[in-house]
Structure 1
């Protein structure tokens, strides 16, 4: 703090000294001493009043100066300003040994390392009487700032400083000292590194982090240790690791981070649990050798000390369980532009076993549908009017704990290896006629065989094998999937006509032809159908008011009809993906009516939406039933934004499932510029809604089959049943972002199961986040904590990010 006061005082007064009417000078062989009064007694030169000593690119200004022309030692007192070797410093008094290149001061001095400014230019600026200390401090760019009582300039132009208070410049005010590193000694090499002995990171003078020794980069992409990272959760407890960043040339770098996860004890010694415990090694290799080519390869390996679990249940240990040992995951991402419109991309993520994803990923009580982890590789050509691509896709099943490379029997996952796709998007053909086509050749097959081996029921469930013993018997049985190649071709024609200047009529016609080749039974089948439809829509609008207060109201009604009159060939192929389930075996005839309204207001060159109302109704003419009735409302009233969505299916067999979605939210910016905002919301959702089940070629999905009701007694303990039923969520959030940089955000989520079954209210999650960032973004402090449902329970983290130095915490 004393250094800050000293610098502020020096800068505020150094520009206020009156210019003398004449200047005395004492000239030596290696230095010139000037001032209002200058004299020399023997080898000692003295100057008072605007005293200035210049030797090469070194300049010293003060109220009083004395200089020994033999020993080249300078003593300066009063509003001292020093410029040497690209360094600008300020003090009340100091002693400079120009021969030894050493500076000493009893009260401490503050120095600014200049960047992008030649030492000669800096010396010329400092030598001018009209240059104030503030102007000198703000000249050019400051690479870093340090305060010390003693430092020496080394032969490699580095500084040996002891003790030191150090701050790296990051665009904030040159007087900003909101964060700093204090150390007993340091070696500062401009443009390279800063090494500290016994350093302490302080934010607002509060100690945050200490290590015996550390070396930090002063420029981007410097090899060295980064700040340690630490985090915690209810899965693996406290986790700490220390990253080492290694530069491998201009286009490559590597990060190696050994760490340790302290883990959490299982609920009982003979029980298993999610999470990890033990040492781990995290590595990441990044590359960007040329424009249009970049990627990364990341690998994390664990020596897991937790006991081995049953692959069907992570809460059950295997007999005579031993530590799980080596586990890990790998990520490979690559993007490349080959030129001529050709591109390549790879996104690969693999886990050593299926449970590792759950061991490392906190999830909420909603049990998100993470069943597979996809990996893809694509080579494609994109032209002005076409797309052609070759894709490989691999999916890893993470529902069970089987090893990725193990031989144990497990559910078979069908992979797309490969897929060839050629598509021409909608292009003008003749007059009002437009058209496009898509051709896809794909092979779906297990990675190491031709059989799904699910059994006659078509479902491979390890915990519940088929009664007839066909599941996993290694032979093809009716009802099982087999490796299959499919050629799918779908051309499409559209035409748009104007009807009386008020309506737009758009008929369309498409044909989908799918040819199947089954590799076990060696059967060849095909399915073909024509899809015909039309859309009739219009827009009516009116403007109310004039100028800046004008408001536009638009009404956009539309009607769409779509039908597949007949399906030819294999009308009900085995369903492997969304193309197989595109239409029912008997075709369909459906329609949808929509009425959309919106209110817009122009604000300068931008347009603001004040309100929107969308109403949709689907009809299935063959089934003689109404589809979902849905509506969406949006209203903006000054600082308040409200939205609501509802979906109702009156013909769903289960009465409790007819309200498939009901949600509402409101947000209020209580104070301008995000100083204070609150939000609340409610959502009731169902996984069987039409929005989720609708096939790709239909307007409405087929109706749900009648299912047997579940008794109340079993539903309370059956998690599978609970997750398939409706749930309600209530959301609340509040946050503030104050002008001086403090931010606070709190979010809570309360959810419950269907009231007919248990009606148990559960607090799903609470999240609190506190951060501080100054206006110049020089650093950021952030802390977050979350309370989550089992098995995660909690998650927390704390980080301090210093511009140009890195991040401590995670």
Structure 2
């Protein structure tokens, strides 16, 4: 290796006598300094010998040993005793003996070890007096040794019996290594190994026929393959390949293959024609599982950092799925028409090409201008569910993407943005037609199945002047915000949801209180603009605010404010326009009681802040967009600005007078310049006093509404390694907790952690929702305040529908380091048993286990933590126990595996 360059100086030593320190010129023209305590040449033997503190030095390289000999007849140079070499770029080597054949440029080493150093200067390495001192310097991200080395280029070598360790272990006893019978090595670039075997603490772990390993932080080459096995997709393997495209760009290509999860057995009931009086006959049949994928996949990831102001990442994944095509209306396979007495037969048409794409980009354009992109797209609604068995990932309903260009200054914000959503609740394909395959059972007669039209923000323009003191009006602060928003589907001008304004997967319409068979919503996806369809709209929203602050002596502070919101809408399909406006009066009265305990090096501050906030909207003019039906007008708001205040049925502003009485406590600790807040607690009670004030467009039931609204409490705490928080919402009118949430974490920063989160939310049952009940009728969705209000509406259940239900979930986990390099992590998702109102007995058996998902990972790594290998198993309530894969992390090379 690089030892050969300085050792070649021996080739130039001829029969002349040399002083104890002299200069010698190499064939390359480079000059080296040769020094030793004793230097002789035996002419009859043609043998040059240098003994005692032998040193060969160039400007950037240094070779030291106890003795150097050169056999001129056989052209062999030998360095023995405490051999150490220091080269450029952090290269260093030590050996007991080195023998170099000058004719073949082959070197035989005894006790040889090459090291790539970092965290130490070249001058410090050149000043090292012994191999032990050189070994202990700085960090050693690369260790490499071999028994025979042949130089093939300036920094290229062929190595026999190579041992390679790309980590920052101690150079004397690396905890792991990769050995190979032979290897091609280019220093600072790569190592190509033939039949390498990985050893962990001298125990062979696995072997490969060939491997390419980079010897730098960014070097083209194959990375470690990642196998995995799951009940969702069977066995899969992926082989990443890292490609360097210059200093600022790189790419990772990851081909892989999924074997699929096999078949499942189903039962089929049918009439026995031979014995018509007997009960239904039962038989079983096999078909592929509905979820999961099968086939090859290629994932490409491109990263770029062309400057300090710009960075980003683009990913593209393509998958050819040979699983049978799914019917997006039922999420099951397509089936051929039924034949009496025979089990169902699925239509074996492959799903074909599927894919994913994402783009993350951040750029500072200068002069206060920035742009940002955070986008993700999938080819169909079930792409994420088919590739990820994780319960939490499968529960995502929408995939959101956004892009914005904005200017941000101290007193100004202006931006243009686009926000897109993909509805991934159903398995509809987004970029190709959802056609019913030939021969499939098709009672509705539709050939092309229209997918839901999700509304997008295309685009949004925002101009804002944050609140600031007004120079001409002493004591007043003011601010304004103007926004243009276009909410529309990609095409068609309207959503085509049908009569109820909601896209339903099976196309049926379920009016409130209807029992029995539900009718088909003939307005859904019929291509006509019906009464319940949402149309594309353009909206201009203008909001301004004035406020001042008045001190009430030393006791309290009074902050009155006056705001105005004005909105104008234009329907792109109907051509209709609407406008709505209303004033907002606000008043905040607060005070603070503070006590401080000061010490020599620290101080403790305790503050109690009671406050009363009032907000009054006398009513307004105009209304939000509405639609007309046989039952009269009903409002059709889209987003949080449309919902900014309570609305009447027809969309007019419902005046209100609301208040929130709260008290907040905080505890702060200051040590030097470091301030932390170990405790903050806020208690509050909401009020709706509307029935005591005149209100325009007063709804008929306003006088019957109670004054008290939700009672809430929030707490956050932090004490050393402990962090926690909790949120409680209580409805005093029904006597029910609408929300209970809590979380905590303990992390000592040494690999030991414990964390948990619990959520208990009162929600509308699925049965009530399927009967037309809105999702925000009860629970925190109901009491959540609108944008310009202080409290939300009442939480009510519609008589005659299914009762509300509680949605509960507990996520808890821990990470532990058990010593001897062993690590364990465990996480569990706990949900209570579900209840099926149609068959409670079956439901209790099926969902008796509240542990929805459990993940266990066991890992091992050395004390230096330069590498860690982890095996992961997952137990899911519906899929059973499965091996999720192996994760392997190597310092300097990255993490490879299947996650879990």
Do both proteins adopt the same fold according to a TM-score greater than 0.5, normalized to the shorter chain? yes
Which residue number corresponds to residue 517 of structure 1?
Answer: 570
Determine the C-alpha separation between the residues in 1 that align with 2:68 and 2:363. Answer: 64
CA distance in 2, matches of 1:291, 1:673: 30
Question: What TM-score comes out, normalization by structure 2 length?
Answer: 0.77
Distance across 2 between alignment mates of 1:117 and 1:624: 73
What SS does the corresponding residue of 1:477 show, helix, strand or coil?
coil
Q: Is the 8 A contact 2:321 2:350 kept in 1?
A: yes
The structural deviation recorded for 1:122 is: 9.8
Q: Which residue of 1 aligns with 2:161?
A: 163
Per-residue deviation, residues 549-590 of structure 1 (Å, max 9, x unmatched): 754322111111112110211266411111111112322211
- What CA distance in whole angstroms lies between the structure 1 residues aligned with 2:321 and 2:836? 43
Tell me if structure 1 keeps the 8 A contact 2:82–2:131: no
Q: Is residue 651 of structure 1 aligned with residue 738 of structure 2? A: no
Once the two structures are TM-superposed, the CA of residue 410 in structure 1 deviates from its matched residue by 2.3
Distance 2:68 2:823 in 1: 50
Q: Distance in 2 between matches of 1:637 and 1:806?
A: 33
1:41–1:80 Cα change, 3 Å: farther
In structure 2, the partner of 1:214 is 211
SS in 2 for 1:297: strand
1:725 equivalent in alignment to 2:805:
yes
Q: Is the 8 A contact 2:779 2:795 kept in 1?
A: no
Change (3 A) 1:374 1:367: closer
What residue number does 1:273 align with?
290
Distance 1:115 1:679 in 2: 37
8 Å Cα contact 1:675/1:739 also seen in 2: no
Shift of 1:144: 3.1
* Residues 1:245 and 2:321 aligned together: no
1:457 aligns to 2:547 (yes or no): no
CA distance in 2, matches of 1:747, 1:66: 64
1:767 CA drift (Å): 2.5
Is 1:559 aligned to residue 612 of structure 2?
yes
Q: Which residue of 2 aligns with 1:200?
A: 197
Q: Is contact 1:725-1:753 (8 Å) kept?
A: no
TM-aligned CA distance change 1:60 to 1:582, over 3 Å: closer
SS of 2:645 mapped into structure 1: coil
Corresponding residue SS for 1:134: helix
Aligned partners of 2:426 and 2:505 also within 8 Å:
no
Pair 1:387–1:640, CA change in 2 (3 A): closer
Whether the aligned pair in 1 keeps the contact of 2:167 and 2:867 (CA below 8 Å) is no
Partner of 1:576: 638
Structure 2 residue aligned with 1:587: 655
Paired residues for 1:135-214 under 5 Å: 135-138=133-136, 144-168=142-166, 170=168, 172-214=169-211
Q: Any idea what the Cα deviations from partners look like across 1:157-216, whole Å, max 9, x if unmatched? A: 32221011112354x433341122111111221122211111123332333443212222
Q: Is the 8 A contact 1:216 1:805 kept in 2?
A: no
Check whether the contact 1:272–1:309 (CA below 8 A) recurs between aligned residues: no
Tell whether the 8 Å contact from 2:86 to 2:126 is kept in structure 1 after alignment. Answer: no
State how 1:602-681 maps to structure 2 within 5 Å: 602-622=670-690, 623-634=705-716, 643-652=725-734, 658-664=736-742, 678=754
- The answer (yes or no) to whether the contact 1:731–1:750 under 8 Å persists in 2 is yes
Separation (CA, whole Å) in 1 of partners of 2:393 and 2:897: 29
How far apart in 2 are the matches of 1:706 and 1:116?
A: 67
User: Which structure 1 segments of 5+ residues have no match?
Assistant: 1-22, 712-720
Q: Is the 8 A contact 2:603 2:671 kept in 1?
A: no
Cα distance in 2 for partners of 1:411, 1:94 equals 74
Q: Which residue in the other structure is 1:798 paired with?
A: 886
In 1, Cα distance between the equivalents of 2:762 and 2:409? 41
Q: CA deviation at 1:60?
A: 5.3
Pick the aligned partner of 1:50 from 45, 49, 52. 52
* Aligned-residue offset at 1:668: 6.3
> Structure 1 691/616 Cα, relative in aligned 2: closer, same or farther at 3 Å?
farther
Establish whether residue 310 from structure 1 lines up as the match of residue 349 from structure 2: no
Change (3 A) 1:433 1:202: farther
Counterpart position of 1:355:
382
Q: Tell me, yes or no, if structure 1 residue 437 matches structure 2 residue 480.
A: yes
Distance of aligned partners of 1:542 and 1:804 in 2 relative to their CA distance in 1, 3 Å threshold: closer
1:116–1:348 Cα change, 3 Å:
closer
Aligned to 1:699: 790
Please report the TM-score for the alignment, with normalisation by the length of structure 1: 0.85
Secondary structure in structure 1 of the residue aligned to 2:805: coil
Q: Name the counterpart of 2:436.
A: none
Aligned counterparts of 1:53 and 1:496: Cα–Cα separation in 2: 80
Match of 2:534 among 471, 481, 484: 481
Is 1:373 aligned to 2:399, yes or no? Answer: yes
Please list every run of 5 or more consecutive structure 2 residues that lacks an aligned counterpart in the other structure: 1-17, 26-32, 266-285, 337-346, 434-448, 510-518, 627-634, 648-653, 691-704, 764-777
Paired residues of 1:314 and 1:355 also in contact (CA < 8 A) = no
Contact 1:26 1:38 in 2 (8 A): no
**Of residues 765, 772, 788 in structure 1, which corresponds to 2:876?**
788
In structure 2, do the counterparts of structure 1 residues 417 and 253 end up closer, same or farther at CA, with 3 Å as the change threshold? Answer: same
Seen in structure 2, the aligned counterparts of structure 1 residues 329 and 230 have a Cα distance that, compared at 3 Å, is: same
Cα shift at 1:333 = 2.7
User: Which of 708, 722, 735 matches 2:815?
Assistant: 735
Match of 1:8 in 2: none
Deviation at 1:460, TM superposition (A): 2.2
How many Å apart are 1:280 and its aligned residue?
A: 0.7
1:686 equivalent among 720, 743, 762: 762
Q: Choose from 68, 73, 76 the match for 1:70.
A: 73
Structure with more contact order per residue of length (Cα contacts < 8 Å, sep ≥ 6): 1
Question: Is the 8 Å Cα contact of residues 232 and 796 (structure 1) preserved in structure 2?
Answer: yes
Residues 633 and 225 (structure 1), Cα distance of their counterparts in 2 relative to 1, 3 Å cut: closer
1:264: Cα distance to partner? Answer: 0.8
Q: Deviations over 1:307-331 (max 9, x none)?
A: 1111123344444231111111111
User: Per-residue displacement from partner, 1:593-619 (whole Å, max 9, x unpaired)?
Assistant: 111112333344433444333211111
The question of 1:401 aligning with 2:427 is answered: yes
Report the secondary structure of 1:449's partner residue.
coil
